[in-house]
Amino acid sequence: MDRHAEIGSLPRGRVAVIGAGLAGLSAADVLSSRGLSVTVFERSSEIGGLAATRESGGLRFDYGPHRFHTKSSALQARISGLLGDDLLTLERKSRIRLLDRYFRYPLELGDVLRRMPLHQGAGMVASYVWSRTRRALAPSDEGDFESWVVGRFGRRLYDIYFGPYTAKLWGRPPSSLSSDWASQRISVPSLSGLIRETLSPGESGARSLVSTFSYPRTGIGRIAEALAARLAAAGGSIETGVRPERIEPLSDGCRIWAAGGEHDFDAVINSAPLDEYVRLLGKALPDDLHEAASELRFRAVVFVTLRLSGRCPAPDHWIYTPEAGYEFNRLSIPENFDAAMSGTGGQITFEFSCQEGDATWEGGDELSRASVEGGAKLGLLLKEKVQGSTITRQSHAYPVYDIGYSARTNAILDALQVLPRSVTCGRQGMFRYNNMDHSIMMGEYAALELLGEGLLRDMFDWSKSTWADG
Ligand SMILES: Cc1cc2nc3c(=O)[nH]c(=O)nc-3n(C[C@H](O)[C@H](O)[C@H](O)COP(=O)(O)OP(=O)(O)OC[C@H]3O[C@@H](n4cnc5c(N)ncnc54)[C@H](O)[C@@H]3O)c2cc1C
């Protein structure tokens, strides 16, 4: 049957949305603006998911650096409409710390050659040219992250940067990760582009270091807050601290067990993690899909935010630290996004990637100490100026693209697509390493699918890996 006919009209128009991150809130906003009655169930006590802003000791900080950018002018207009003059336009400043020196990010060949010790730079160029030539003459299987990157950037750069960073971020050998992560997130310059970059630094367009992005005053969480405010004004509600226990699809909607009661809805939009949604649907899905879902893995992040008595001296929005000498893989500086985030003081947020439940996840003071030591070694803070730290955690920061994830994910999403009056969307709900713009648009398209005005898959086809560009 046609997907629109399956979903049909929504006579009473009561829709449940699982998850109050950007995808769920975006869906709720679209549906409530069309007169439907929307209830959002959010398991945590806060809204915004990964794109929330936290407050501690009067300072505001995000879960790591969040820059909003989109290729869609309609979406840019929607976000501008939500935030008005409070949407800042910033020029990205980011660097990588390698071999005790800073390099521009994204890496530029000219910058690398200028700053790299001569023998390292020469070795990198030789290994780059060798890899590109060999790849052109005899293409080989590049299904895993390591061979994909080595084939395009050379072994030497892989060993110095891509390999250590990836191993630290994912906690597993890069050869065990699908090349999808690389192809979706790493832009590969052409040889001619690299030569242009080297000869005329700063003049190359697409890969230029300074690209602009949008950022709401006082934190990225303002986008979620603005969507939630509109939802409330349209009569919708968000039930925080509520994690549904079970969902039973019915011929004309679904029944949700949550907060000790049973609630009937005409339709449901999910933005909670895909494995969680499969578990909630229980017997509505066959055993092999439950097995596939149980094999999906997420990478967690612990964020340590140090409060400083003065501003951090670095101009960057964020800095990557791939080397093993730093336990964190990246740090960001909230006041460089908006000075108001840090009041008159300063802050740095350090990211420690881990698995939920492991020693890092459970970590406390030792992570703060590692942040202070690392920050001092990088020249970003004086130890005596650290006034305290706040630790926050996200269990589902990154979907792990291990070899085989895509077959598992596609099978589950194919099956969910034929479930009447149910649409799953978002970074978690589609198990997709995507950005905020995509999550917001996924929520919008999920809503339009319920309204019979579009199909999420037409915009975000999960069997293709082309649209989740970083
Ligand atoms: C460190 C980091 C940096 C990033 N930087 C950028 C950036 O610079 N630019 C960019 O565009 N994107 C960035 N992103 C990605 C961006 O944060 C996400 O793509 C986006 O916020 C995802 O929104 P979402 O609603 O799809 O998912 P989420 O934000 O994960 O929302 C899902 C929501 O569902 C809730 N939930 C989970 N399970 C249940 C349940 N069982 N019942 C009810 N509720 C549930 C969660 O609590 C959460 O609120 C970054 C991500 C990370 C981790």
pLDDT of residue 191: 54
Q: Which atom of ligand 1 is nearest to the CA of 436?
A: 11
- Based on the fold, state whether residues 187 and 138 are members of the same structural domain: yes
Note whether residue 134 is domain-resident: yes
Domain housing 415:
3-53+218-296+402-459
Residue 209: what pLDDT? Answer: 39
Domain assignment present for residue 281? The answer is yes
* Residue 284 shares a structural domain with residue 421: yes
Ligand 1, atom 49, residue with closest C-alpha: 49
SS3 content of the chain, % helix, strand, coil (to 5): 45, 25, 35
Phi and psi for 354 in degrees, rounded to 5? -165, 180
Measured by CA distance, the residue closest to atom 31 of ligand 1 is 21
Query: Which ranges of 264-383 would DSSP assign to H, the alpha helix?
Result: 274-281, 287-294, 359-362, 365-377
Ligand 1 in reach of 436 Cβ (< 6 A) = yes
CA-nearest of 370, 383, 393, 392 to 321 is 370
Are 380 and 408 contained in the same domain? no
Q: Is position 68 within any domain?
A: no
Residues 337 and 202 in one domain: no
158 lines ligand 1 (CB under 6 A): no
**Does residue 390 sit in the same domain as residue 411?**
no
123 Cβ below 6 A of ligand 1? no
Strand, coil or helix: 29: helix
Q: Same domain, yes or no, for 303 and 395?
A: yes
**Can you tell me which residue has the tokens 């990211």?**
351
Domain membership flag for residue 82: no
Quick one: tokens of 445? 């398209």
Where does a domain end: 207, 237, 254?
207
42 Cβ closer than 6 Å to some ligand 1 atom: yes
Which residue is closest in CA terms to ligand 1's atom 39? 272
Placement of tokens 């449901």 in the chain: 268
Statement to judge: residues 374 and 330 lie in one domain? yes
Give the nearest ligand 1 atom to 51 CA: 21
**Residue 340 phi, psi (nearest 5):** -65, -15
CB of 446 within 6 A of ligand 1: the answer is: no
Q: Identify the segments of the chain with pLDDT beneath 70.
A: 1-12, 185, 187-210, 465-470
Asked if residue 393 has its Cβ within 6 Å of ligand 1, the reply is no
413 lines ligand 1 (CB under 6 A): no
Same domain, 117 and 136: yes
Q: Are residues 390 and 408 in the same domain?
A: no
CA 101 to chain centre: 27
User: How does DSSP assign 64-110, residue by residue?
Assistant: S---B--S-HHHHHHHHHHHGGGEEEEE--EEEEETTEEEESS--HH
Determine the distance from the C-alpha atom of residue 13 to the mean position of all C-alpha atoms in its chain, rounded to a whole number. 31
In a domain, 64, yes or no: no
Residue ranges of alpha helices (H) inside 214-286 are 221-233, 274-281
| 390 and 419, same domain (yes or no) | no
Distance of alpha carbon 304 from alpha carbon 125, whole angstroms: 37
Q: How many H-runs (helices) and E-runs (strands) does the chain carry?
A: 19, 19
Find the CATH number of the domain harbouring 375. Answer: 3.90.660.20
How big is the CA angle at 180 (ends 177 and 181), to the nearest 5 degrees? 70
Cα pseudo-dihedral 258, 264, 269, 273, rounded to 10: 30
User: DSSP characters for 190-201?
Assistant: -HHHHHHHHHST
User: 353 forms bridges with which residues in the sheet?
Assistant: 301
CA distances from 258 to 264, 268, 276 (A): 11, 13, 14
Give the residue from 164, 181, 207 where a domain finishes: 207
Q: Are 139 and 198 in contact (CB under 8 A)?
A: no
What's the pLDDT score for residue 205? Answer: 43
Tens digits of residue pLDDT in 274-305: 999 999 999 999 999 999 999 999 999 999 99
Question: How many distinct structural domains can be found in the chain?
Answer: 3
Q: Which of 299, 296, 337 is nearest to 315 (CA)?
A: 337
**Number of neighbours of residue 174 by Cβ within 10 angstroms:** 24
Whether residue 399 has its Cβ less than 6 Å from ligand 1: no
Same domain, 387 and 417: no
Q: How far is the CA of 394 from the centre of ligand 1 (A)?
A: 9
387: Cβ contacts below 8 Å, ≥ 6 apart:
307, 308, 309, 345
Atom of ligand 1 nearest to the CA of 47: 49
Q: Whose CA is nearest to atom 34 of ligand 1?
A: 19
Which of 351, 373, 399 lies at the terminal end of a domain, its last residue?
399
Distance CA 349, CA 53 (A): 12
Ligand 1, residues 436, 437, 445, 462: which to mutate, most atoms within 8 A of Cβ? 436
311 and 391 within one domain: yes
> Strands 53-56 and 261-265, how do they pair?
unpaired
Q: Is 322 in the pocket of ligand 1 (CB under 6 A)?
A: no
Residue 6 has what pLDDT? 57
Q: What's the confidence (pLDDT) of residue 188?
A: 66
- pLDDT for the residue numbered 413: 97
**Domain membership flag for residue 269:** yes
Instruction: Tell me which residue of 214, 300, 225, 215 sits closest to 52, measured CA to CA.
Output: 225
Q: Which atom of ligand 1 is nearest to the CA of 66?
A: 8
Q: Is the CB of 275 under 6 A from ligand 1?
A: no
Ligand 1 close to Cβ of residue 439 (< 6 A)? yes
Question: Does some domain include residue 9?
Answer: yes
> Under a CB-based contact definition with an 8 Å cutoff, are residues 231 and 25 in contact?
yes
> Would you say residue 413 lies in a domain?
yes
Which of 17, 50, 212 for a ligand 1 pocket mutation test, highest count of atoms within 8 Å of Cβ? 50
| The total number of residues written for the chain in this structure | 470
